[in-house]
Structure 1
Amino acid sequence: MVSTSLTEAIVRVTKSSVEPLRLFCFHHAGGHEKSSFMGWQRKLGDLAEVVPVRLPYDDVSSPAGRGAGSPDVARMIERINAEIDPWAGTPHVFYGHSMGALVAYQVTRLRQKLALPLPERLLVGAYPGPHLRHRLTGATRLPDTALRALLPEQPAHRSQSVRKALEQTAMTRLRAHLGICEAAVSVPGREAEAAPPAGSRPLLCPIDVFTGRGDAMVTPAGAAAWRLHTQAGCRVHQMPGGHFFTRDSAESKNAFFARLAVILAECVPATSGDFRDRQHRMASR
């Protein structure tokens, strides 16, 4: 099987008759589609075709991403959806991590509005309910030092390289991405007070929420708030690790991929017996 890789295009899919599912993956703020989901295809094997989605950076980096206004989130979501749509007619799942969760949610909302096929499930990780005020809301106006102090802790083996990158061009990219989160939350508020905007229609697909037990960015109440955005059911899965539980440690990675395998199995038609058997074996490792 050929692993899907994105370069200049927002999404580039290699057709395959092996995988009954496509897993579209949306990266975190300041991240990149290649590095954020590196190793996922190897981990999942032929259980699903992993399709990292590149955030159309030019939509948010100029001029809005440089502080001249709010990013055009609607335009960005429309562009992502237009590129995904040709490949979303067969069973598929969305996974978004941190900011990527918000982007995946917005793409799903647009697809529902346009009566297009929805993901079998929307999987979101390390992000509170999309109507809530995030810890980094407003952080784009802070100086670099103050912004860095608010960022979640990176895995120890990556902290030096990440810190070096942030001191260079990645800080501009991070600020542009965080601007998306600020612009997308139309009615921010406290967890005890906020509610989805009036007239916001809940999704028709179920939502699975992943959260790290040690993640200071997302409280249990914030994770549970996703239930307000679907009428098809919402589950919260607590993982070992922090904000980056998908790569924090061997324990957190294994726990995440084992749970992911079980969820993917639920998304496959009952006729795909061989696939379900492979999912069961992976989840039992």
Structure 2
Amino acid sequence: MFCPHAGGAASFFAPFTRHFPAGFDLSGVQYPGRQERLDEPLVPTVEGLAEHLVPILRGLATPAVPLVLFGHSMGASVAFEAALRLAAEEPRTPCLVVVSGRAAPSVPRAHRYPETDGEILDDMVKLGGTQAEFARDPELRDLFLPALRNDYGAVARYRPTGEEVLDAPLLCLTGERDPRVSAEAAAAWKNHTSAEFRLESFPGGHFYLADHREAVARAVADWAESPRGGPPSHTGT
């Protein structure tokens, strides 16, 4: 399952699906307050988004088929928190976690999160998540800004202890020129799993994955299909 970034929607991952091998059951998480869920209340915390996700995962997970959670940027934190909660409920459920574009929970924050609408929009454009002309269009901006504002606030308020450890294989993907995630901050994810850890980097910045969809899909599929990971399964959110 795919978990989108701040301000993002499940549709962001649609182009990735054509690059996965047959046998994967692919789906994306649509957070409340966007696209077809536009009329639903926004969820103001990362933990709240994870808690909304757990009942869905509970219905997908089986002892025989591993569940793969893929989260990018804010979505990486959502996926990680959801995996922790699922493991607490169902410790024998096989689960693999893929975190992308996100520093490990144990890494101290090195920057201040934008607070005003102007700062948030400028930051999103700078990171490559939204084209400048899209952000400047008043009608489109008014449509996606509430979710973007909510999600930036959720990330700013997220305060993991830094000691969380998941008993599940963890794959970390990162952009080599990501201004928010250094190589060291990505590698620190190895401290948050007691199982196998792998780090793979790609050319590009924070949204490197948009330029390397096939390579990213292959990395995730190889990880899921490895002898340790077992057969292919649900990927996304």
TM-score, normalization: structure 1?
0.68
1:32 to 3, 6, 9: 9
Distance 1:253 1:76 in 2: 25
What SS does the corresponding residue of 1:94 show, helix, strand or coil? Answer: strand
- The answer for the alignment partner of 2:153 in structure 1 is 179
* 1:42-68 deviation digits (Å, cap 9, x = unpaired): 22141411110122344545xxxxxxx
- The answer for the alignment partner of 1:65 in structure 2 is none
- The answer for the alignment partner of 1:93 in structure 2 is 68
Q: Establish whether residue 167 from structure 1 lines up as the match of residue 141 from structure 2.
A: yes
Q: Establish whether residue 76 from structure 1 lines up as the match of residue 53 from structure 2.
A: no
* 1:236-256 deviation digits (Å, cap 9, x = unpaired): 1011121112213xxx33332
Distance 1:221 1:232, change over 3 A: same
Task: Give the counterpart letter for 2:221 in structure 1.
Answer: A
Q: Establish whether residue 108 from structure 1 lines up as the match of residue 83 from structure 2.
A: yes
Distance 1:73 1:260, change over 3 A: closer
What stretches of structure 1 of length at least 5 have no aligned partner?
1-23, 62-70, 188-195, 276-285
Distance 2:2 2:68 in 1: 9
* 1:60-100 deviation digits (Å, cap 9, x = unpaired): 45xxxxxxxxx354443222101221111132211001110
What SS does the corresponding residue of 1:42 show, helix, strand or coil? Answer: helix
Distance 1:137 1:122, change over 3 A: farther
1:50 to 26, 37, 47: 26
Distance 1:102 1:26 in 2: 9
Distance 1:147 1:161, change over 3 A: closer
Distance 1:180 1:262, change over 3 A: same
Instruction: Please show how residues 138-149 of structure 1 align to structure 2 within 5 Å.
Output: 138-139=113-114, 142-149=115-122
Offset of residue 127 of structure 1: 0.4
Distance 1:163 1:255 in 2: 32
What SS does the corresponding residue of 2:174 show, helix, strand or coil? Answer: strand
1:243 to 192, 203, 206: 206
Q: Which has the larger radius of gyration?
A: 1
Q: Give the alignment's Cα RMSD to 1 decimal.
A: 2.6
Q: Establish whether residue 261 from structure 1 lines up as the match of residue 221 from structure 2.
A: yes
TM-score, normalization: structure 2?
0.81
Offset of residue 153 of structure 1: 3.1
Distance 1:174 1:116 in 2: 34
Offset of residue 128 of structure 1: 0.4
Offset of residue 159 of structure 1: 4.7
Percent identity for Structure 1 against Structure 2? 24
What SS does the corresponding residue of 1:124 show, helix, strand or coil? Answer: strand
What SS does the corresponding residue of 2:127 show, helix, strand or coil? Answer: coil
Distance 1:136 1:33, change over 3 A: farther
Offset of residue 206 of structure 1: 1.4
What stretches of structure 2 of length at least 5 have no aligned partner?
34-39, 233-237
What SS does the corresponding residue of 2:98 show, helix, strand or coil? Answer: strand
Offset of residue 162 of structure 1: 5.0
